[in-house]
Amino acid sequence: MSVLVTGGAGYIGAHMLLALQAAGEKAVALDDLSVGSRALVPPGVPLIIADVGDKETLARVFADYDVTEVIHFAGSILVPESLIHPLSYYRNNTANTLALLEACVDAGIRRFIFSSTAAVYGTPDSVPVSESAPFRSITPYGGSMAMSERILSDAATAHGISFITLRYFNVAGADPKGRAGEIGKPTHLIKVAAQIAVGVRHEELQIYGADYPTPDGTAIRDYVHVADIADAHLSALSRLRNGGESATLNVGYGRGYSVREVIEAIERVIGRPIPQKIAPRRAGDPPQLIADGAAIRRVLNWRPRYD
């Protein structure tokens, strides 16, 4: 028996593989390497290089590795990019999730964990935002993930699939042992600011909007350590194996920090200012997004280690 991790050569998928290894689980990674890297896949984990929408390859992997559960990370996740290439996002996220689920049904796989996003909420009426808040996606990224959630829910009802959908807030950080982290050219605040701080990037840090209706005018987010995200998936896997009901859960710490607060924290560590400039707001960025994390603590007994 093994767990298939789609997007296993990517940022979050690689941390999931490390967590599965530490738990003594057999895992296999599937990734097309369009964004991920072979170097992130832990030694001893088989890597299948393929598109997650390739149903023939999926059927072969399911059989060859005796896959009993799927943890689905593969997809496109950049909000600004989704506004420029919406059709690509609906293909990579929605259509490929549909194909993956069809392959699961054909192979008799009945446990599925889906990596979703707080972007499905768009600009919520209030924060913290709970799982009962309506879908109000303001970007193709959020829309594609909301559609994928609906497809999963409908497939689960029709085909007896047990699932956990985890809606992440802002994922940050890296493996504490240095075995995995973000790769490529990062777009997320903490990684960009850290690279500028240590001289990997020689540029000003762009603050996208300083006129939001927040205390200091910059956007507020709920940042969650990637290792805690992986732990949440392990807890979800345990719940499904023990016959627990399907659930959709936020993954966040329940409090937010503004862009300026993040920058000031890094400046305190390095003892000097980070060069920065105010840029226009980016389309698709809500003023603040903070999780109501009560449900995941109750349902999965999840307790963050890196809060």
Q: For 95, which DSSP code?
A: I
- pLDDT-based confidence at residue 263 (cuts at 50, 70, 90): very high
CA within 13 Å, CB half, 121: 25
The arithmetic mean of pLDDT across residues 39-52, rounded, is 97
The arithmetic mean of pLDDT across residues 265-290, rounded, is 95
pLDDT of amino acid 190: 93
Q: Yes or no: say if 301 and 235 are a contact pair by the CB < 8 Å rule.
A: yes
Vertex 28, ends 77 and 96: CA angle to 5°?
Answer: 40
Active site amino acids: 141
Lowest model confidence (mean pLDDT) among 57-61, 89-93, 180-184, 269-273: 180-184
pLDDT of amino acid 183: 82
Q: Yes or no: say if 249 and 299 are a contact pair by the CB < 8 Å rule.
A: yes
Lowest model confidence (mean pLDDT) among 82-91, 154-163, 175-184: 175-184
pLDDT of amino acid 284: 87
pLDDT surpasses 80 at 101: yes
- pLDDT-based confidence at residue 162 (cuts at 50, 70, 90): very high
Q: For 249, which DSSP code?
A: E
pLDDT surpasses 80 at 49: yes
Cα 124 to Cα 135: distance, rounded to the nearest angstrom: 9
Show the tokens assigned to 288.
């603040």
pLDDT surpasses 90 at 14: yes
pLDDT surpasses 90 at 184: no
CA within 13 Å, CB half, 53: 10
139 phi/psi in degrees, rounded to 5? -140, 155
Question: In the sheet where 288-289 sits, what is the strand order?
Answer: 257-258, 220-221, 288-289
Closest CA to 74 of 51, 56, 55: 51
pLDDT of amino acid 226: 97
The arithmetic mean of pLDDT across residues 103-130, rounded, is 96
- pLDDT-based confidence at residue 187 (cuts at 50, 70, 90): confident
pLDDT surpasses 90 at 163: yes
Cα 14 to Cα 24: distance, rounded to the nearest angstrom: 16
The arithmetic mean of pLDDT across residues 119-135, rounded, is 95
Each residue's pLDDT tens digit, 202-250 = 999 999 999 999 999 999 999 999 999 999 999 999 999 999 999 999 9
Show the tokens assigned to 158.
């029709």
Strand (E) positions, 87-129? 111-117
Mean residue pLDDT of the chain comes to 96
pLDDT of amino acid 182: 87
pLDDT of amino acid 186: 73
pLDDT of amino acid 143: 96
The arithmetic mean of pLDDT across residues 64-70, rounded, is 98
Percent of the chain with pLDDT over 90: 95
